[in-house]
Structure 1
Amino acid sequence: MVAENKAKALKFKELLSLRWEPVAVRLLRRGEKVPEGLGEPHIRLRYCQAVVAARRGYSLLLAPKWHACPDGAAILGLIEMSPKLKSGELYLRFRKLPDLKVARRMIEERPVWEAGEYSAVAIAPLAQANFEPHVIIFTLWPEQAMWLCSADSYFTGERQIFETSSYNSVCAELTVRPVKTGRINTSFGCYGSRASSDMDDFETFLSIPAQRVDNVLSALEELARKAMAEERKKIYAPPVVGFGEAGEEADCQVQKTVTIMINKDKCQGDGNCVDFCPHGVLQLIPGERGRLVASAVRPDLCTACYTCVGQCPSRAITLVES
């Protein structure tokens, strides 16, 4: 189990260029054997703090007695929700919501487990996890989250439907919901998780339920063959950006002219530019000694999307707008 999880963690880290370890989470039922390699914390921790600690390399067992946040422990089905939390009163005390009606609706709609459903939570870096996780929680930058979403859609074409409110982020949104629905979910953190951890302002979370992990990883490997590398090289970014001042009047009807310059000596005639052009601007025609080279047959249709420039392996194409 550890070797398999370690291999997956290494692939995720390599493909996504992750800074933090992916975190494996398993909810343990009463009587279930505690996985090896977990330690109890020396102080009580919020569940979100434990997940953030695990991304730094700590493997933890969080039984109810070690949960510092009664809200999170109750959402995870470890303990009964206290009357003050269940009523929504505390959300008003923190001034996080305007009135009890709103607080009660938020509480009713968030995903939770019944008290006693689970007895403890196993939390560890995926690379060290000696257990089969229910979910894997990633700490990400937006670009990395984008690729995980693309990977989740890769084999089906389905779009994600995320459920988040930034209340009870790590417990409800990143753990309970993915396990209940079997679908990935994202969260931007919440008041508690950001106020009690070193989660960076520019980071976000994404959680993948166990049954989707292998497909997502396989899709990432496919995306890394071409699309990810090209995006990270910014291959469609125009090479020159003008900084001239705008005129006093703007005529939005004036059509820019795009000049497409193709270095015939560099052109390999592979047809990438032709295949990727969305408007049929380019075509392969016989050049010297019958060698096929790219030619702009309908330059008037060019929108300067720079796809041909980015996809040309020999960098033979240059666009000039005037």
Structure 2
Amino acid sequence: MNNEDIQKLGKELKDILKIDTSPVAVRLVKADEEIPEGIPHIDDKTRHCQMVDNVRRLGTQFYALPEDHQCKGGAAVMGLMEMNPKLKSGEVYYNLNHFKTLDSAKTTMERVPMVPASSIKAVVYSPLEKATFKPDVILIIAKPKQVMELSQALLHKSGGRINSGFAGKQSVCADGVAYPYLSGEAGVTIGCSGSRKYTEIQDEEMIMSVPVDMLADLVESAESMFGTYAC
């Protein structure tokens, strides 16, 4: 797919399912790759979940380096840096009383999807319908019914199931980006304390993430099932 194809599919997906905000194109730029040309550098230090939320609502496009990420846990699971030992061990969440024991916190953190540390040098963000690069993953923040329709469209051609794994931790970063990037599978997640505190993700919204290679079939099936002329 070229950039024009991706933009067209992004607009169609948004229109077909009547999603209020833009699907977000995310590319993890590997350490030995170049950052796509023409993409501005973000001018403010903030969190990955806030970056995604700003892109989907405001239509901004930019790339972020490791030092631009205010949430180092989010940056770490996407491969931009090593994870803080206290976060990796579960100690941070245990001290926040999110777990009864340190062992339960550690067990959860051991299962968080993580891109190998320092294998990524930048993350590029754009509304899908404006993307001038090929993303790795598309994040769609939408209402449960729309996520249901997305799930049905993903399975329309080949069948199967959507495998969703989450813990209400590291949601928009680990579940939303690292999981589909590593697995090549679509995923659904419900948000986390941080992403719901620092963004405008609404109580009635959730997150679906889709590898870009699934996009064309997803849109074709969505149009067939839910488009203007669908029965």
After TM superposition, the score normalised by the length of structure 2 is 0.94
SS in 2 for 1:206: strand
Instruction: Report the AA paired with residue 223 of structure 1.
Output: M
Instruction: Report the AA paired with residue 145 of structure 1.
Output: V
Q: In the comparison of the two structures, how many residue pairs are matched?
A: 229
Matches within 5 A, 1:144-183: 144-183=146-185
Distance across 1 between alignment mates of 2:17 and 2:227: 13
Cα deviations by residue, 1:251-278 (Å, 9 ceiling, x for unpaired): xxxxxxxxxxxxxxxxxxxxxxxxxxxx
5+ unaligned residues in a row in structure 2: which ranges? none
Instruction: Report the AA paired with residue 180 of structure 1.
Output: L
Asked if the contact 1:24/1:129 (under 8 Å) is kept, the reply is yes
Cα deviations by residue, 1:7-43 (Å, 9 ceiling, x for unpaired): 0111011100011001000000123221134222332
Cα deviations by residue, 1:208-227 (Å, 9 ceiling, x for unpaired): 1112111111111110258x
**Which of residues 85, 88, 106 in structure 1 aligns to 2:87?**
85
**Which of residues 115, 120, 132 in structure 2 aligns to 1:113?**
115
Establish whether residue 16 from structure 1 lines up as the match of residue 28 from structure 2. no
Distance across 2 between alignment mates of 1:37 and 1:123: 12
Asked if the contact 2:224/2:230 (under 8 Å) is kept, the reply is no
Q: State the percentage of identical aligned residues.
A: 33
Instruction: Report the AA paired with residue 209 of structure 1.
Output: P
SS in 1 for 2:116: coil
Bigger drift between 59-68 and 40-49 goes to 40-49
Bigger drift between 151-160 and 63-72 goes to 151-160
SS in 2 for 1:119: strand
Establish whether residue 7 from structure 1 lines up as the match of residue 5 from structure 2. no
Distance across 1 between alignment mates of 2:130 and 2:65: 19
Tell me which protein shows more helix as a share of its residues: 2
Asked if the contact 1:189/1:204 (under 8 Å) is kept, the reply is yes
Deviation at residue 229 of structure 1 after TM alignment: 5.8
SS in 2 for 1:208: strand
Asked if the contact 2:77/2:174 (under 8 Å) is kept, the reply is yes
Aligned to 1:126: 128
Establish whether residue 187 from structure 1 lines up as the match of residue 170 from structure 2. no
Deviation at residue 84 of structure 1 after TM alignment: 1.6
Cα deviations by residue, 1:135-155 (Å, 9 ceiling, x for unpaired): 100011111111100001101
Cα deviations by residue, 1:75-118 (Å, 9 ceiling, x for unpaired): 11111112221221111222222221011101111110121111
Instruction: Report the AA paired with residue 152 of structure 2.
Output: S
Asked if the contact 2:62/2:126 (under 8 Å) is kept, the reply is yes
The structure number with the bigger radius of gyration is 1
Asked if the contact 2:16/2:227 (under 8 Å) is kept, the reply is no
Asked if the contact 1:37/1:59 (under 8 Å) is kept, the reply is no
Aligned to 1:25: 26
Asked if the contact 2:3/2:134 (under 8 Å) is kept, the reply is no
Aligned to 1:210: 212
Q: Which runs of 4+ in 1 moved over 2 A?
A: 36-43
Cα deviations by residue, 1:172-212 (Å, 9 ceiling, x for unpaired): 10111112221110111101101111111111110111121
Aligned to 1:51: 52
Asked if the contact 2:180/2:209 (under 8 Å) is kept, the reply is yes
Instruction: Report the AA paired with residue 126 of structure 2.
Output: A
Aligned to 1:219: 221
Aligned to 1:235: none
Q: Which of 1 and 2 has higher RCO (CA within 8 Å, sep 6+)?
A: 2
5+ unaligned residues in a row in structure 1: which ranges? 231-322
RMSD over aligned Cα, in angstroms? 1.6
Cα deviations by residue, 1:52-76 (Å, 9 ceiling, x for unpaired): 1110211121100100001111111
Distance across 2 between alignment mates of 1:168 and 1:86: 11
